Amino acid sequence: MKKASLVILLIALSCLVVAGVAYADADDGGTSTSTSVSASGVSGNVKDISTGAAIFGATVSDGSVSATTDANGNYTLSLGAGSYTLSVTKSGYLQTWQTTTVSSNTMTTVNWSLTKSYGTQTPPAKNMAFTILAWNDLGMHCDQDDYSYFCVLPPANTLHAQVFHDGDLSTGVTVKYSFPKKTDSTLHTNFWTYASNFGWNLAPNVGLTGNGLSGTMTLDSSGKGFVATAIPITPYDDDGTWDPYGAATITVTDNSGHTETANVVAPVSTEMDCINCHGSSTVTPQADILQQHDKNQGTTLYSDYLAGKPHLCSECHSDNILGEAGKSGVESLSLAMHNFHKDKMNFTTASTNTTPDCYNCHPGPSTQCLRGVMSRAGKSCHDCHGDMAALVNNTYPNSSRQPWLNEPGCSKCHDSKHAENANTLYRNSVLQNSPSSDMNNKIYCEACHNSTHAEFTTANVVYNNTVMNSSDQAIPEKFQGDNYWIWNCQVCHTDKTQQSMHK
């Protein structure tokens, strides 16, 4: 039976807005808070990211001063006021870096979550025709079960892939995609019934850019990889199973007939829990949303709905994800949603309790789209985005931030060699500080680290006793032999010795 998922806030970037953090040779669970004391420096705790157990004997250092954790994983590092790049090392774990700022007479809290060191296995990719690195761009896309009342966003999911052969980037191949369990989206959404009301004249099962549920991927605008945009999948399999982490099959074939396949998650959810606040025993949540909008803004959305004329939100509210300008003087969709609801939600800074605010609208307690290594390390939505009030204060015209175009970056917490490219979102950034210069500007960060909110290694999302996102780590498991980010040089190169990927 379908979930009663009723859309009001639909931000398709994982449906959150995080730009994501590129975890190269590092995982951190750092949280930075400041407490006024007579001395200054950094203190915190170091734990195992998988077990949560305290790590004894880890060394935290700024390069000149160091401290060692006690039996409870705690440390204190005395530092003067200034900005620092800290690292933590412990035998059996990967070295990790964080940046922080220390103020005079203040102790800043920096916590760490460490990942066990890489294995020593020979990657399975050495015996394969191609290495396929594939990913979804945002970590979670969102759509609606019902489009008869209004449309925030249409069904749309974007897949990317890069193909490597003997260390070389291969673009002269044919790359196709398909969804074995999702072949007919019309079974589970009425989007195409109402699409023309929103300005889209589309055949059933065809998305906004002409792509269907199977097809051929095309070279992206940079010529580095392949892309299929706005694929109109839903979170339901053909048999009705709720499956927000459905897998696409990527098939690569060259002119000689050599073929390789890979599975990659194409996440999408309709778990927008407007029902938590909207609706009653006599009024549906969607109808209540329209009626409240009419009451507060003087619109006629509900009567238009009754007349069979539902509206696209971006007719009035600009939305950069759709490239819609909206109406002059009307707040963008992102600003309007956060601004109106900022005083109507409960808040918490704990990532395990995102339901009181972010998960009221973003998917969600069941979907758990915030599942990447940052979440596993204890990061919350607020750590990157701030709370709803901060989002309002930092969004145009209150500030310079344009939704979707300006997002939190890796460099907020990570040192320069693990940062995104200058003036570039994480999802568009490429490796630039590789051990061999001929690798620079070729490999997307997401190709090795996965998309925002789902950075390797992701947490298992379990729903009805089923691991829903089992394909999240299918790429490294197939080609590398573990579920870490792509760290092994021999995944792509058959003749290279292992080196650190970021110099």
485-503 residue pLDDT tens? 999 999 999 888 888 888 8
Helix (H, G, I), strand (E, B) or coil at 295: helix
> What pLDDT sits at residue 34?
53
DSSP 456: S
> Among candidates 115, 9, 1, which has minimal Cα distance to 369?
9
> What pLDDT sits at residue 4?
41
Instruction: Indicate the residue type of 377.
Output: A
Quick one: tokens of 141?
């896309």
> Among candidates 439, 321, 319, 313, which has minimal Cα distance to 12?
321
Tell me phi and psi for residue 178, to 5 degrees: -160, 165
For all residues of the chain together, what is the average pLDDT?
Answer: 89
Asked if residue 61 has pLDDT above 50, the reply is yes
Cα pseudo-dihedral 188, 354, 296, 145, rounded to 10: 0
**What digits encode the pLDDT tens for the residues 6-17?**
333 333 333 333
What is the band of 379 on the pLDDT scale with cuts at 50, 70, 90? confident
Domains and CATH numbers, the chain: 1-27+115-277+310-503 (no CATH), 32-114 (2.60.40.1120)
Instruction: Indicate the residue type of 38.
Output: S
**What digits encode the pLDDT tens for the residues 206-250?**
999 999 999 999 999 999 999 999 999 999 999 999 999 999 999
Over range 185-200, report the average pLDDT. 97
Asked if residue 348 has pLDDT above 70, the reply is no
In DSSP notation, 150-219 reads: EESS-S-EEEEEEEEETTEEP-SSEEEEE-TT-S-GGGT--HHHHGGGGT----TT--TTS--SEEE-EE
Cis peptide before 397 (omega within 30 of 0): yes
> What pLDDT sits at residue 21?
33
Over range 416-441, report the average pLDDT. 90
> Among candidates 307, 62, 32, 63, which has minimal Cα distance to 194?
307
Integer Cα distance of 428 and 408 in angstroms: 13
Asked if residue 24 has pLDDT above 70, the reply is no
CA 169 and chain centroid, separation: 25
> What pLDDT sits at residue 44?
97
Quick one: tokens of 248?
């696409």
> What pLDDT sits at residue 38?
61
The more confidently predicted of residues 4 and 486 is: 486
